[in-house]
Amino acid sequence: MGRLTDVRIGVLMGGRSSEREISLKTGHAVHQALIRRGYDAVAIDVSDRLHQDLKEQGVGLAFLSLHGPGGEDGMVQGFLETVGIPYTGSGVRASAVGMHKVVTKTLLAAHDIPVPPGTVVRERDKAPLAKVLRETKLNLPIVVKPVSQGSTIGVTVVRRATQWKEALALAHQYDAEAMVEGYIPGHEAAVSILGTTAESPNVLPPIEIVAPEGFYDFAAKYQKGKTQYLCPAPFPLKVLKQIGELAGRTYEVLGCEGAARVDFRITPRGRPYVLEINTVPGMTETSLLPMAAAQVGIGYDNLVERILQSALDRAARFAQRNKSESA
């Protein structure tokens, strides 16, 4: 297979979010894969010099390896749209919606996609736990997390009332809004999706995540040996089919493109709930997207090329739009 493009590719990574270190790992792995495939690719650590860096390096396509606020929330996507550089993955709207967990849940619920019950507590509210539980009709344990954050940063499973204030303060360190959800006992799972303009989204085999103490936190995600990953997930066929369909619907409802990953909790009786969607999934050696792709014979370098295709699809749209505007 020949190269998909001769245009110089800028792999955008790092940035200023709390997920910077993971983004750097993802970006360097992607950059090396592109080099191995013979592409003209350059690694760019995103800063306030991004515009100059892209111009100086002669970048014609951007491969987004940014995680968290500032990179996964539509901001850099909007900037790249403005300067006319096609990029991988979802567009501005889908990225912004996918990053904001409350907006995601609201949209999914409107399309009858099951999400955990919950509410939002703003930093200024100083809401007592008893009031929140009464108004939401939830019982402990509950999950408290920042509304716009990834990699399970700032998340607490509150099992005792004495944990409430600390959990809320932690979430508010990362966002002025904290989401409070009912804790869904059972299994954790992730379903990755690859999409192109020419084909229907390809739903990859689900992965069950068996984390220590039942909580897939930051350490469980990124420290080798901390967590078991069962792929394909050993769920009943009915559950496998259901979460695959729900992941595909979530991807389409939000208007995603390229690669994405939908995270689930599944009750012991097999009822799934969508927790969130990641529109720039990790591509480190412990990441779930490459693991799922490998199950269907898509190696890492091939996977990187398939994600690159989403930038080429966008480049074609940019060209068509420019042609229409100049007509």
Active site annotation includes 278? yes
User: Catalytic residue among 261, 265, 306, 314, which?
Assistant: 261
E strand intervals along the chain? 9-13, 41-45, 61-64, 118-122, 142-146, 156-158, 177-182, 187-194, 202-203, 207-210, 228-230, 259-266, 272-278
> In sequence order, what DSSP letters do the residues of 72-113 get, joined into one string?
SSSHHHHHHHHHT--BSS--HHHHHHHH-HHHHHHHHHHTT-
Active site annotation includes 56? no
Q: Are 21 and 282 in contact (CB under 8 A)?
A: no
User: Catalytic residue among 278, 287, 305, 314, which?
Assistant: 278
Tokens 């600390």: give the residue: 166
Whole-number Å distance between alpha carbons of 178 and 100: 11
Active site annotation includes 6? no
Nearest CA-CA partner of 310 in 62, 141, 65: 62
Active site annotation includes 222? yes
Whole-number Å distance between alpha carbons of 112 and 27: 36
Q: Are 111 and 101 in contact (CB under 8 A)?
A: no
Backbone angles phi, psi at 210, to 5 degrees: -110, 95
User: Catalytic residue among 222, 251, 273, 300, which?
Assistant: 222
User: Catalytic residue among 19, 175, 181, 313, which?
Assistant: 19
Q: Measured on CA atoms in the order 76, 77, 79, 84, is the torsion positive or negative?
A: positive
Whole-number Å distance between alpha carbons of 167 and 172: 9
Helix (H, G, I), strand (E, B) or coil at 127: coil
User: Catalytic residue among 282, 300, 305, 313, which?
Assistant: 282
User: Catalytic residue among 18, 65, 151, 287, which?
Assistant: 151
- Which are the catalytic amino acids? 19, 151, 222, 261, 263, 276, 278, 282
